[in-house]
Amino acid sequence: MASIKDIAKMAGVSTATVSHVINKTRYVSPELVEKVEQAIKNADSPPKFVVRRQKKIRENIHQSQNGVLLYICQYEEDNYAGGVWSKLKPIMESKGYTMIRCNCNSDLEFGLVDKLLSDHVEIIGMFVSARTDEFYIQKIVRTTNIPCVVIGNEVDDVAFDRVSTDIYKAAYDCTMHFIRSGHDKIAILMGDLLKSYNNDVIRGYENALEYGGIKLKNRYILHKDSDEKKISDMLSELLDGNDNPSALLIADSEHIYRVYRYMMKRNIRCPKDLSIMCIGNEGSAPYLNPALSMAENNFEYIAEKAMDLMLDRIKELSEKDKYEAVLKKTSKILVSPKIIIRDSITGTARGPFGEKGADINMLSLTEKEMDICRMKRYTAVIVYHYIGASFMKLHEQGVRDVFDRIGITVIAVMGCQMDFSMQKKQIESLLMLEPDIMIAFPVNHTLTQEVFEEVIRTKTRLIFMGHVPDRFEGSGYVSCINVNERSNGRNIGRGLGDYLLLNHKKNIGIIRYGHQFYTTNQRDLAVEQILREEYPELRICAT
């Protein structure tokens, strides 16, 4: 077993220097500290004075039921560290321990924490939360000889117990929510956080895109890795082009306010122009305008698991002599985030062939165009899939009101009550009137192909409502018009979820329509998505 003289000889320093390094009783240059620490590490067996110190720590841990635990983080304003601290401090104090929170992000703070650890043997453990790759916390962790639990990001790849939000899953789930909401142009904004954090984020983002069949675009990946490049400049490059994203995932909650400020100055509407989600930012997300959707950290569960890991290590060290073996045995616990959907996301409507739905406000006629319509005296017919319901009455009245203003006459309105053969006969008879316009709700996507192909061979201009038959594939008709069924489904899902929770019910059955109407499918999928993601307490037991 090496003595202090042996270590001094190996390091090429005096025994007094070794003593000062070990006991931290005097300043020693970093170069000499490194030499002494390396000599101790290279010794065949732990030096006597190290063994004595470890024994003293074990005895202190064994005797202490109300020892001191440090909570070391980098920044006072770190939202993640603060969220965990608010839950961890009371539960550790309820067990009889004293909690002290320290920042460690400068030479001065490092010196204070280092001295605190060396001068106070009653400190029997520490929790560590690192936000960036700054080296101060890493220096503390590398030389620790008390139980340490890392909360959040990995610290310098050092092997310690660790409990954290599953950042990979947070990024994956947020990206998948965008995809299920109809978005296929999804950008991501990352900050200058730990490499391990950013690696998990980008991996989750890329894997979600791959699963959704969406090609990765490098211009959609924004990385704020220095102060030189402003968030506003990065967003301008992203949003001023021709291929703008419709959704943005913010991986670093520190950038939220800059993004909102930029959008407000540029009159970019959220979520109409850009839907936004963030990982974290529990404190202010509900109070932003619009309220921010997010992957929420489960701070309470993280704190509980961190406490369990710490208490287990303290107990093991008080009972066993194999000090190093206990500290080297590590556990990693990843806690799934909860997806919270608020007003910063909207569902993007899609057409029957995946095309993005256009805003109704894009359609307008000039006075000159309306005068031309009046002079032409166009005629129109409407073919409903069924008739008599309030929706059809309101729809017909809306069409008549608009057409009356521009001189188009509705000469016939028919409904087939979902009977294909009847709709076929109605369309054939209406074509004999030679209308200029036909507004049609097809009753079936396969059986109505031929009769509508007859329509497009005439002078009649065809407008589909709600659905397009097979074989048309975006040609032969003017447009397909429908309400945003994806948004309808999201609203239905939230209404149903809130009602069931309020009335203490949890089982749900979903009845789907038999025909493959793309709008109906969008609505049903949106309902199911909202129920599964936002109401995990409920159970879809049949579909």
Query: Per-residue DSSP letters for 292-306?
Result: PEEEE--HHHHHHHH
pLDDT 10s digits, 310-343: 988 888 876 665 555 555 678 899 999 999 989 9
Answer yes or no: is 344 within a domain.
no
Answer yes or no: is 12 within a domain.
yes
Which one is predicted more confidently, 165 or 16? 165
Mean pLDDT of all residues in 239-255: 90
Mean pLDDT of all residues in 193-213: 90
Asked if residue 134 and residue 13 are part of one domain, the reply reads: yes
Is 497:360 a contact under the CB 8 Å cutoff?
A: no
Say what the pLDDT of residue 52 is. 63
| pLDDT confidence tier of residue 436, bands split at 50, 70 and 90 | very high
Asked if residue 86 and residue 22 are part of one domain, the reply reads: yes
User: If we measure between CA atoms, which residue out of 105, 110, 144 comes closest to residue 127?
Assistant: 144
Asked if residue 325 and residue 264 are part of one domain, the reply reads: no
- Domain span at residue 131 reads 4-164+301-333
Provide the 8-state DSSP code for 287: G
Choose the final residue of a domain: 434, 466, 481.
481
Answer yes or no: is 349 within a domain.
no
Asked if residue 366 and residue 219 are part of one domain, the reply reads: no
Asked if residue 146 and residue 97 are part of one domain, the reply reads: yes
Answer yes or no: is 418 within a domain.
yes
Mean pLDDT of all residues in 196-216: 94
Asked if residue 441 and residue 492 are part of one domain, the reply reads: no
Is 383:410 a contact under the CB 8 Å cutoff?
A: no
- pLDDT exceeding 70 applies to what percent of the chain? 90
Residue showing tokens 């030479």: 107
pLDDT at 61 over 60: no
Asked if residue 524 and residue 430 are part of one domain, the reply reads: no
Asked if residue 103 and residue 58 are part of one domain, the reply reads: yes
Answer yes or no: is 465 within a domain.
yes
What CATH number should be reported for the domain holding residue 433?
Answer: 3.40.50.2300
- pLDDT exceeding 90 applies to what percent of the chain? 46
Say what the pLDDT of residue 411 is. 97
Q: Which of 210-214, 294-298, 310-314 has the lowest mean pLDDT?
A: 310-314
Q: Which of 126-135, 385-394, 448-457 has the lowest mean pLDDT?
A: 126-135
Q: What ranges in 377-484 are assigned the alpha helix state H?
A: 390-405, 420-431, 449-456
pLDDT at 510 over 60: yes
Answer yes or no: is 341 within a domain.
no
Asked if residue 316 and residue 294 are part of one domain, the reply reads: no
Mean pLDDT of all residues in 369-385: 95
Say what the pLDDT of residue 529 is. 86
Answer yes or no: is 350 within a domain.
no
Say what the pLDDT of residue 362 is. 78
**Kind of pairing between the strands at 332-335 and 68-73:** unpaired
| pLDDT confidence tier of residue 225, bands split at 50, 70 and 90 | low
Amino acid identity for residue 318 in this structure: S
Say what the pLDDT of residue 48 is. 66
Say what the pLDDT of residue 7 is. 82
Q: How many domains does the chain have?
A: 4
Answer yes or no: is 49 within a domain.
yes
| pLDDT confidence tier of residue 224, bands split at 50, 70 and 90 | confident
* H, E, C per residue of 80-116: HHHHHHHHHHHHHHHCCCEEEEEECCCHHHHHHHHHH
| pLDDT confidence tier of residue 250, bands split at 50, 70 and 90 | very high
Report the distance separating Cα 298 and Cα 340, nearest Å. 12
Quick one: how far is CA 134 from the chain centroid?
26
The pairs formed by 476-485 with CB atoms below 8 angstroms and a separation of 24 or more are: 476/452, 477/452, 480/351, 480/352, 482/349, 482/519, 483/519, 484/347, 484/349, 484/357, 485/349, 485/519, 485/520, 485/522, 485/523, 485/526
Report the distance separating Cα 82 and Cα 310, nearest Å. 19
Say what the pLDDT of residue 397 is. 95
Mean pLDDT of all residues in 235-262: 91
pLDDT 10s digits, 96-136: 899 999 988 888 888 888 888 877 778 888 999 887 766 67
Choose the final residue of a domain: 250, 277, 298.
298
Say what the pLDDT of residue 78 is. 85
pTM of the model: 0.74
* H, E, C per residue of 214-270: CCCCHHHEEECCCCCCCHHHHHHHHHCCCCCCCEEEECCHHHHHHHHHHHHHHCCCC
Q: Give bridge partners of residue 508 from the DSSP assignment.
A: 540
Quick one: how far is CA 340 from the chain centroid?
9
Say what the pLDDT of residue 63 is. 54
Asked if residue 377 and residue 449 are part of one domain, the reply reads: yes
Asked if residue 373 and residue 489 are part of one domain, the reply reads: no
Asked if residue 465 and residue 366 are part of one domain, the reply reads: yes
Mean pLDDT of all residues in 173-178: 95
Say what the pLDDT of residue 364 is. 86
Choose the final residue of a domain: 457, 481, 505.
481
